[in-house]
Amino acid sequence: MADPLPGLKTFALTVAVRGGARWEDEHRSGWSHLLEHLVFKGAGEMSARDIVQRIEAEGGSINAATGQERTSFEVRAMERSLPLAMQVVSDLVFRPTLSEAEITREKDVVAQEIAEAFDTPDDHVFEMAGEQAFSGQPLGRPILGSVDSIGRADRAGMEAWRATLYAPERMVVAVSGAVDEARLIDLAEAWFGLATSAPGQEPEPAAFVGGNAALTRRIEQANLVFEIPGLSAHDVDTPALRLFAEILGGGMASRLFQSAREERGLAYAVDAWFEGYEDTGVLGIYAGAPPGRSEELARVAAAELRTLARDGPTEEELARAKAILSASLWMADESLVSRAGRNAAQTLLFGAPIPSETLTARVEAVTAEDMRRLGARLLTPARSATAVLGPKAAGAAGRVFADALHA
């Protein structure tokens, strides 16, 4: 899809695939992320160096990312470079070399990336929480996979996975900025229209399970993640949940920041977020706290979540959250990368991009009563997933949160 913005000399291209780590079974955990690495090692007639040199020689940049439900490739460049960008990304997704030597080498690189994530407490604690939230399911496994599952990859397996994952019927090509729609359609048909593949089965519906995990490490700070079931990206109450997360812990005026940091000095970093997937979602809280005060922080977090869910926000809080979300939408509109990425993601999720005017209208329409109704939905399942990583003194904080939330 084309998103022309008159007067600009540059464009942002996003090629997004409806497929990622959530499509993997346990045997192939991490293969989507590994594949994203491997396609940059050679594709079509290009070597690894050629791929980046061709883009950078025109003043552009290229990048990619793998998520649970999407894999995306991005190019930012001058208007004249659009044909080159389309050709390069087409080669990456449809014609990668996938040599055995590169697979062996990149498996070692990803193994180092896995080790780095494990050694980074505020990364690994999220993996621990995800495993509790969606135990035994793809959403509960790290996007990076494990050393064992990555070690199983070979050329035949990766080529089969590429053909399954990068199915053209699950792709969206989106360009924002200096782009002509007719020209983009011609380029898309030339570089993406003739490819064929056999897309794999749809992922199984996800179910939030819940549980508590704790890992003792000899570090100074306890890293805490508390999660409860959220809503899917398609749910009618998603705008209200985004406001809920903002009021709970979205900024310095949020309830958690004020109560946990400003009033009690329990944490330097504390925030809340919402992640919506195709059929489920998660509302979460993260904090870094002194080990000896982690249980106190857990009680405060549970109390703030329960109070907001039960009583709803004040008019002042609701107005502030609406202003922040609306402003963030319009600010994202001023970034070509954000526009192209959002258009691609929304097309995959909803069938078409949603104008910012529509999104802000949905946010503005949320009432305090909507928030209270949402709060009842959030607390009804009485499930939570918690993870604590740090000194032994903090180990019980997750159970304290769960007990306080569901008391």
Reading the block at residue 382, the tokens are 């009485």
| Cβ-contact 354, 333 below 8 angstroms | no
Total number of domains in the chain: 2
Domain check: are 187 and 222 in the same one?
no
Among the candidates 165, 192, 219, a domain finishes at: 192
In a domain, 200, yes or no: no
Pair 250, 378 in one domain:
yes
Query: For residue 55, which phi and psi values (nearest 5 degrees)?
Result: -70, -45
CA Rg value for the chain? 22
- pLDDT, one tens digit per residue, over 41-100 is 999 999 999 999 999 999 999 999 999 999 999 999 999 999 999 999 999 999 999 999
Closest of 103, 200, 114 to residue 153, by C-alpha: 103
Pair (134, 241) in one structural domain: no
The answer to whether residue 247 is domain-embedded is yes
End residue of a domain, out of 136, 160, 192: 192
| CB under 8 A, 24+ apart: contacts of 268-276 | 270/297, 270/301, 272/245, 272/246, 272/248, 273/245, 273/249, 274/230, 274/231, 274/241, 274/242, 274/244, 274/245, 275/230, 276/230, 276/231, 276/232, 276/233, 276/235, 276/238, 276/241
Based on the residue annotation, tell me whether 36 is a catalytic residue of this protein: yes
What pLDDT is recorded for position 200? 72
Amino acid at 285: I
Q: Do 238 and 164 belong together in one domain? A: no
The catalytically annotated residue of 24, 26, 36, 275 is 36
In this prediction, residue 201 carries a pLDDT of 80
Give the sheet arrangement for strand 211-216, strand by strand: 211-216, 385-390, 222-229, 281-289, 269-276
Q: Model pTM?
A: 0.95
Are 187 and 216 in a shared domain? no
Does residue 400 sit in the same domain as residue 287?
yes
Select from 159, 192, 225 the last residue of a domain: 192
The predicted pLDDT at position 194 comes to 72
pLDDT for 407 equals 80
- 385 with 246, same domain: the answer is yes
Q: Count CB-CB contacts under 10 A for residue 307.
A: 14
Residue 258 gets which letter from DSSP? I
Report, as ranges of residue numbers, the positions in the chain whose pLDDT lies below 50.
Answer: none
**How far from 352 is each of 123, 155, 203, 257, 346, CA to CA, in Å?**
33, 36, 22, 37, 6
Q: Residue-wise over 3-21: b if at least 16 C-beta within 10 A, else e?
A: beeeeeebbbbbbbbbbbb
| CA gap 30, 32 in Å, rounded | 6
Residue 107 lies in a domain: yes
Amino acid residing at 386: T
Is 166 part of a structural domain of the chain? yes
48 burial type by CB count under 10 A (0-12 exposed, 13-18 middle, 19+ buried): middle
Q: Is 200:165 a contact under the CB 8 Å cutoff?
A: yes
- Residue 382's nearest CA partner among 361, 360, 400, 404 is 404
Helix axes 100-119, 121-133, angle to 10 degrees: 100
Check which CATH number belongs to the domain holding 326 and give it.
Answer: 3.30.830.10
Using DSSP, state whether 15 is helix, strand or coil: strand
Q: Do the domain assignments include residue 98?
A: yes
* 295 shares a domain with 179: no
Q: Is residue 381 part of a domain?
A: yes
179 and 104 co-located in one domain: yes
pLDDT of residue 199: 66
Per DSSP, 96 falls in state B
Q: What is the pLDDT of residue 195?
A: 67
Say yes or no: 168 and 256 in one domain: no
* CA contacts within 13 A on the Cβ side of 315: 0
Same domain, 72 and 168: yes
CB neighbours of residue 216 within 10 Å: 13
283 and 357 belong to one structural domain:
yes
How crowded is residue 76: how many other Cβ atoms within 10 Å of its Cβ?
21
Structural domain harbouring 374: 211-406
**CB-CB contact of 71 with 40 (8 Å):** no
Does the residue 199 lie in any domain?
no
Q: Is the torsion defined by CA of 381, 387, 391, 395 positive or negative?
A: positive
Would you say residue 124 lies in a domain?
yes
Q: How far is it, in rounded angstroms, from Cα 207 to Cα 217? A: 30
